A and B are shown apart, each in its own frame.
Chain A
Amino acid sequence: MDVEVKGIVKSFGELLVLDHISFNVRSGEFVAVCGPTGCGKTTLMKIIAGLLKPDSGEVLLAGEPVDYRRHNIGFVFQEPSYLPWRTVWGNVKFGLEAKVSSLGWKLTREEVDKRVKWAIELVGLEGFESYYPHQISGGMKQKVALAQALATDPHLLLMDEPFGALDIQTRYYMENELLRVWSKLRKTVIFVTHYIEEAVYLADRVIVLSSLPAKVKAEVDVSLPRPRDVTSSRFVEIRREITELIRWW
Chain B
Amino acid sequence: MKPLRSIAANAVALLLFTLAWHATTLVVRSPFYPKPLDVLKAFCKLALEGDIEGYSLGLHIGVSLLRVISGFLFACATGIPLGLAMGLYRPAYESTRSIIEPVRFIPPIAWIPLAIVLLRGFSRYVFLIWLGAFFPVFINTLASIHRVSQVHVELAKVFGGDRSFILAKVVIPSIMPEVLAGMRIGLGVGWMCIVAAEMIGGEMVGLGSLILKYAELLRVPEVICGMVVIGVVGLLMNELFLAAERRLFKWRREVVV
Contact = CB atoms under 8 A, between A and B. Distances in A.
Interface of A: 46, 49-51, 68-69, 73-75, 77, 79-81, 83-86, 94-95, 97-99, 101-103, 132-134, 152
Contacts of A95: 159
Contacts of B151: 77, 79-81
A98 B173 contact: no
B152 interface: yes
Interface string B141-168: 0000000000110111111111011000
Given A51-B154, A79-B151, A94-B169, A84 B252 contact: yes
Given A77-B155, A81-B152, A98 B251 contact: no
B253 interface: yes
Q: Which of B155, B249, B250 has most A Cβ within 10 Å? A: B155
B160 A69 contact: yes
Nearest to A158: B158
Given A77-B154, A81-B152, A132 B251 contact: yes
Interface of B: 151-152, 154-162, 164-165, 169-170, 173-174, 176, 249-253
Contacts of B159: 68, 94-95, 98-99, 152
A98 B252 CA distance: 24
B249 A102 contact: no
A98 B152 contact: no
Contacts of B165: 97-98, 101-102
A88 to B, nearest CB: 11
Contacts of B169: 94, 97-98
A145 to B, nearest CB: 9
16 contacts: A68-B157, A68-B160, A75-B154, A75-B158, A77-B155, A81-B151, A83-B170, A83-B173, A85-B173, A94-B155, A94-B159, A98-B160, A101-B161, A102-B164, A132-B251, A133-B251
Which 4 residue pairs spanning A and B have beta carbons closest together?
Answer: A98-B161, A98-B159, A102-B162, A95-B159
Contact of A83 (B152, B157, B158, B160): B152
A99 B165 CA distance: 10
A50 B159 CA distance: 11
Nearest to A87: B251
Contact of B155 (A75, A99, A132): A75
Contacts of A49: 158
A94 B160 CA distance: 11
A85 B160 contact: no
B162 to A, nearest CB: 4
A50 B161 CA distance: 13
A79 B165 CA distance: 22
Given A83-B152, A132-B251, A134-B253, A68 B162 contact: no
A229 to B, nearest CB: 35
